[in-house]
Amino acid sequence: MIKKFAFAFLMLFVITSCQGKKKEDLKTSLTVKFDNEEADALKFLYFSESSSLPYFVEPKGEDGVFRVNDIQISGPIFGELSLYSNNRYRLKRVPCYIEAGSNVEIAITGTDITYSGDLVKENEFLKDAASKAFLTHYKGSRLNGSEGFKQLNGQLNEELSALEKLEFNEEFKTFLKEWTNYRYASIKYAIIDKTNQNDWPAEFTSFIKNTVTEKFESSALLGSMSWFYFLDEYFRTQDKFSGQETDFNSNLDKIANPLIKERYILYYYNKMISSRKGLDGIARKGLEPLRDYMVTDNGKTDYNNIIEKLGILEKNYAHLMPGQEAPKFKFEDVNGNMIALEDFKGKYVFIDVWNIYCGPCIKQIPYLRKYEEELKNENIEFIGVSCDKQEEKQKWRDFVAKKEMVGHQLIMDNGRNSRFLADYQIIGFPTFIIVDPEGKMVSYRFLEPADKNFMPTLHDILKS
């Protein structure tokens, strides 16, 4: 969870859509002094409907100062400055707020960040809000049930009341309120998502009902921790609540803000293909019609990069598509016998790729025991293929016996350097594979046994 939050922190300070009068003729500038000599590039990451670019990158001047002049914006920008070495290694992150016609100066010395020029109060506020928001999300996500909701509501009301007393212009305060509400909503949906629906208290269902018509219009959403996970959790929870599963495009239609829609498309499909799903044409079929949703220059670039990445993966996984000959293997089992994939010709083969140090793998073991028993009269064999080291073979054998693991348990010949992992393009554990009775691929990434759709989907395959 900490890694998830840390990654989301990159997206913390972002803007609400511009409602004001266009001011492109006003000169807007930004100056950043950083005492680290290794820094040679400044990147300003922001999301705004008042600008055509969601970020820009500037090199350091000859005097060691980063200067960005004549920034073309027509409204306020909330964002995050990142300073890099060799335009690759991030050295520092700094919250930043600018308006059309403003001149903002930032000096960074060690851990101290000092703002000067225009908008000092606003930037100082956002700097303090950064650490507070991160801590709130980190602690809040560990809360549970009704008491957790009550605690969050109390904190939310306190923050909103405090915002009302701030001496900022209404546009800035409106953004802060929306940002705060989204931050707390994201925590609440994270709590709901990890709770069994049968155990939802009244506070959960009431909250879900009150957010059913949410259209995600404000770009302040992008400032909430893990906003992309939040949308996943929101849509998943709404499906649970309604009892109907909606597809990605239907969920996309619920997002009114074009910038959020763009970002969510990129997140969703990058996540899909990074986990090596949809390489049988499903990802491409879904992604290609969405090109017109890219509303920023950076979004168009990111979209093209995903398409390029997808093409490479489709090529690498072509030999694992349904109907292709499954890569052969022959490994030692717990009794010292050599077992080959070909030994199971005439039967479906369910392959569990795992290792004794993999927590998610171990969680699947009870389900595998249960389903092998249920399918003992069906035309299917279960095989576990461990990537544990040969020198830990006895430890592996002891683990298999202790956990009463079912099926044929095999160990790879060369641990994580085994050709098997390359042949099947394994990138994580556990991975589940299905081969048909003729030795041809059915699925190179099948559902986890814990998934509610596992048995219905497997039954359909066995009946085909």
Give residue-wise pLDDT tens across range 416-463: 999 999 999 999 999 999 999 999 999 999 999 999 899 999 999 999
Confidence of residue 87 (pLDDT cuts 50, 70, 90): low
The CA distance from 376 to 106, in Å, is: 68
d(CA 152, CA 159): 11
The pLDDT of 384-405, averaged and rounded, is 97
Q: Which band of pLDDT confidence, cut at 50, 70 and 90, is reported for residue 2?
A: very low
Alpha-carbon gap, residue 414 to 387, rounded angstroms: 8
| More confident position, 387 or 130 | 387
Higher pLDDT among residues 204 and 49, named by residue: 204
pLDDT value at 267 more than 90 = yes
Over residues 168-217, the pLDDT tens digits come to: 988 888 888 988 999 999 999 989 988 888 899 999 999 998 886 678 98
Q: What is the pLDDT of residue 11?
A: 39
Contact 48, 73 (CB under 8 A): yes
Task: Find out whether 180 and 163 touch, Cβ atoms under 8 Å.
Answer: yes
What does the alpha-carbon distance between residue 263 and residue 160 come to, in Å, rounded to a whole number?
27
Average pLDDT over residues 146-172: 92
Q: Look at residue 230 and tell me whether its pLDDT is greater than 60.
A: yes
**Alpha-carbon distance 6 to 14, whole Å?**
16
Assign domain 330-463 one CATH number from 3.40.30.10, 3.40.1180.10, 3.40.140.10, 3.40.710.10.
Answer: 3.40.30.10
Q: How many CB atoms lie within 10 A of CB 58?
A: 15
The model's confidence at residue 13, banded by pLDDT at 50, 70 and 90, is very low
| Residue of 123, 242, 223, 245 whose CA lies nearest to 177 | 223
Number of Cβ atoms within 10 Å of the Cβ of 75: 20
The yes-or-no verdict on residue 3 having pLDDT over 70 is no
Angle at 322 between CA 317 and CA 323, to 5 degrees: 115
Give the pLDDT band (50/70/90) at residue 78. confident
| Orientation of helix 145-164 relative to helix 202-210, angle to 10° | 40
Q: Which residue has the tokens 């079912």?
A: 406
Domains 9-118 and 330-463 share a fold: no
- CA quadruple 415, 421, 426, 431: dihedral sign: negative
pLDDT recorded at residue 179: 87
**What pLDDT score was predicted for residue 44?**
77
For the cut 60, the answer to whether the pLDDT of residue 7 exceeds it is no
Q: What is the pLDDT of residue 458?
A: 97
Q: pLDDT-based confidence at 88, cuts 50/70/90?
A: confident
Instruction: Give me the count of residues in the chain.
Output: 464
Predicted pLDDT of residue 10? 37
pLDDT score for 55: 54
Residue 218 Cα to chain centre, angstroms: 20
Tokens of 269: 């499909």
Q: For residues 354 and 433, is the Cβ–Cβ distance under 8 A?
A: no
Residue 398 has which token pair?
A: 């002891």
Domain ranges of the chain: 9-118, 130-316, 330-463
Rg (CA), the chain: 26
| Cα 237 to Cα 190: distance, rounded to the nearest angstrom | 10
Q: What is the pLDDT of residue 21?
A: 42
Vertex 280: Cα angle to 355 and 229 (nearest 5): 65
52: confidence class by pLDDT, cuts 50, 70, 90: very low
CATH H-level superfamily of 9-118:
Carboxypeptidase-like, regulatory domain (2.60.40.1120)
CB 96 within 8 A of CB 123: yes
Residues 6+ apart with CB under 8 A from 115: 104, 105, 106, 123, 124, 127
Mean pLDDT for the chain overall: 88
Q: Average the pLDDT over 20-30 and give the result.
A: 67
Distance CA 187, CA 8 (A): 13
Instruction: Identify which of 365, 369, 322 has the alpha carbon closest to the alpha carbon of residue 464.
Output: 322
- pLDDT: which is higher, 134 or 270: 270
pLDDT beyond 60 at 19: no
Please report the pLDDT score of residue 26 as a whole number: 81
| Cα–Cα distance, 434 to 208 (Å, whole number) | 38
| CA–centroid distance for 5 within its chain | 10
User: Order of strands, edge to edge, in the sheet holding 112-117?
Assistant: 65-68, 29-34, 103-109, 112-117
The contacts found for 415-418 with CB under 8 angstroms, 24 or more apart, are 415/387, 415/388, 415/389, 415/390, 416/387, 418/387
State how far the Cα of 184 lies from the Cα of 224, in Å rounded to an integer. Answer: 8
Residue 344 has pLDDT above 90, yes or no: yes
Query: Can you give the pLDDT at residue 403?
Result: 95
